[in-house]
Structure 1
Amino acid sequence: MTTSEDAANGSHPVAGEQVQHDTGVNSNRAFPTSNYADHLDPFVLFERFCIDPDVGFPMHPHKGFEIVSYLLDGGMAHEDSLGVANTAYAGEVMRITTGSGIRHSEFPAASAACNGLQLWVNLPRERKSVDADYEDASAEELPTRTVNGGTVTTVVGEGSPITLHTDVEYLDATVDSSWTWTVPEGWSGFCYGVDGSGTVADDTFSEGDVYPVTDATAEGDDESDREIKVTSDSGLRVVAVVGRPHGEAIRQRGPFVF
């Protein structure tokens, strides 16, 4: 795939890392990992979780960031200290603003396994103590468009009802030939392989791979958008996530981000 030195430069895809949580939930983590040890300002971490029927996350605390959970298969039941109880199914999304503090639990629905994607977005320093909040959206509420080379669903961004305290674009793209992903000027993030195989920026790319987007990946000067080509002959599903950096240190201690 690539070397650790290359990974540090964010110039090539790297492999995600298998993680088992204390509760028994297994995940493929994109970052931070031994392959890519850094956060990607404004993003704290990203992983694909797989929750078996007999495990989950009992009630636990968070503060200082926002959580975006996007379901791929099955259903995940959420309950929190705000009094919210909701189950999200494939294609649906939940957003939690942990702010000054929240407790929540996550378990597979109907005693059946589920899997999905979870993104942690840092809150800017001046908003760390905002009130905790919750929001969700159905698959029908997320805009999906046909583009040359595939289909793209906007999970967060223009047309999506999901809002964050940070400017973020989160796209779910299924590519069957060639799709050009445009990264706004000065933004950073990543592309993550959900299913299938192909290429990202001319490098081989498949399920569980991560392509970090940082200043090191920019072509030309920093005053223009970046275009990253995603291709596949057999079908490749990726999520492409970018945000406006806060330019602040991300200080994570387990479930808290200071």
Structure 2
Amino acid sequence: MQATVPSLQIFGRTTQDQGSFDAGRIREYKVIGMPQDRTQRKRVGPLFYWSWAKGDPHSVIALHPHQGFEIFSYVLAGTLIHRDTLGTHRPVEAGGLQLMQTGSGVSHEEVMGAEGTEFFQIWLEPHLRQAIAQPPTYADFTEADFLVQTEPGIRCKQVLGESSPVKLQVPATMVDVEIDPGAQLTYPLAANRAIAALMVKGNGTWSQQQLSQKAQRGDLVSAQNPTPEPGEMVYVSDGNGSRIVLVDVPLAVNYPLYPEF
């Protein structure tokens, strides 16, 4: 049953399932898990899956298929080399993003760069019945392609949303925010929307109305505003500064979501 009041939850590393590839040379935390995973936090609206992976130099996630979902990798460090059955062979550097709109089906593999690679892989769920009727596509973007806005103590990079060159079927927004020690981030949480925010660096305190919780590196912050009124999230960074990647999605969409599909 969907909540009717704002909620704020913190999911630490102990609640996140883990996985590996290439005989353990690539390791991941599944911060938002698939239905079969042991991760406590499952999907948030159409945000279906989120993993945080780190791989040794030249390690490989071997060729495997996808269909329907909009799947993107956001590179935190190093180089991620993408190869797929569309004929693509492309490196994406730190700060860049690669997007597969997998449509009727595509297979791909990912190779870690010479210095090793750290990245997120995130799955968004469009209307699957419509998506699988479309041909698959691939696109990638560099750090320089994204709008960065600054204000005192805050650097905010618009990865997904109206100001982003990344065009999706799912109405999602994503920001990558660096926050100076002691600075405050105020994020508007629109009516009937939810956020999932991953603590990439540092620790601090999140607040929503009367709710307040501390979070640290590796924690997933999950909050929703199921009311018709706009709200906001406030984060105050502790002494060493913070980096947060935040995804904002609708609580509900006007099409069936897996497994209802």
TM-score, scaled to structure 1: 0.86
1:14 Cα offset (Å): 1.1
Deviations 1:194-244 (A, max 9, x none): 011112223111111011123xxx3xx711222001111320100110123
The match for 1:127 is 130
- Which residue does the alignment assign to 2:192? 186
1:53 maps to 2:63: no
In 2, the alpha carbon distance for the partners of 1:37 and 1:209 equals 11
Q: Take 1:20 and 1:62, find their aligned partners in 2: how far apart are those partners?
A: 18
Please report how far the alpha carbon of residue 50 of structure 1 lies from its aligned counterpart in structure 2 after TM superposition.
0.4
Aligned counterpart in structure 1 of residue 228 of structure 2, from 218, 223, 230: 223
| Distance of 2:97 and 2:58 partners within structure 1 | 23
Q: 2 CA distance for matches of 1:179 and 1:123?
A: 30
Q: State whether structure 2 residue 11 is matched by structure 1 residue 14.
A: yes
Q: Which amino acid aligns with 2:213?
A: D
Aligned pairs for 1:16-165 (under 5 A) are 16=13, 17-23=16-22, 24=24, 25-32=26-33, 34=38, 36-109=40-113, 111-129=114-132, 130-165=134-169
Structure 1 runs, 4 residues or longer, greater than 4 Å off? none
Q: Aligned to 1:165, what secondary structure does the other structure show? A: coil
Cα offset, 1:19, TM superposition: 1.1
Structure 1 pair 131–223 and aligned structure 2 pair: CA distance change class (3 A): same
Match of 1:204 among 194, 209, 214: 214
Shift of 1:162: 0.7
3-state SS of the aligned residue for 2:103?
coil
Root-mean-square deviation over aligned CA pairs: 2.0
In the TM superposition, residue 147 of structure 1 has moved relative to its aligned partner by: 2.6
- The question of whether the paired residues in 2 share the 8 Å contact of 1:15 and 1:35 is answered with no
SS in 2 for 1:47: strand
In 1, distance between residues paired with 2:223 and 2:127?
20
The answer on 1:213 being equivalent to 2:220 is no
Secondary structure of the residue aligned to 1:140 is helix
Where does the alignment leave 5 or more consecutive residues of structure 2 unmatched?
Answer: 1-5
3-state secondary structure, aligned to 1:211: strand
Count of paired positions: 239
Query: Alpha-carbon deviations, 1:45-75, whole Å to 9, x = none?
Result: 1111101125221111011201121111100
Q: Which string of whole-angstrom CA distances, capped at 9 and with x for unpartnered residues, describes residues 103-142 of structure 1? A: 1110112x32110111100121342312111111111110
For 1:50, the aligned partner's letter is K
Measure the CA separation in 2 of the matches of 1:124 and 1:189.
20
Distance in 2, matches of 1:104 and 1:182, equals 36
- Cα distance between partner residues in 1 of 2:80 and 2:146: 18
Unpaired runs of 5+ residues, structure 1, are 1-8, 253-257
Moved more, 184-193 or 81-90: 184-193
Residues 10, 49 of structure 1: alpha-carbon distance in 2 compared, 3 angstrom cutoff? farther
Tell which deviates more after alignment, 30-39 or 71-80: 30-39
* 1:243 counterpart = 2:246: no
What is the letter of the counterpart of residue 20 of structure 2?
H
After TM superposition, the score normalised by the length of structure 2 is: 0.85
Greater CA drift, 23-32 or 94-103: 23-32
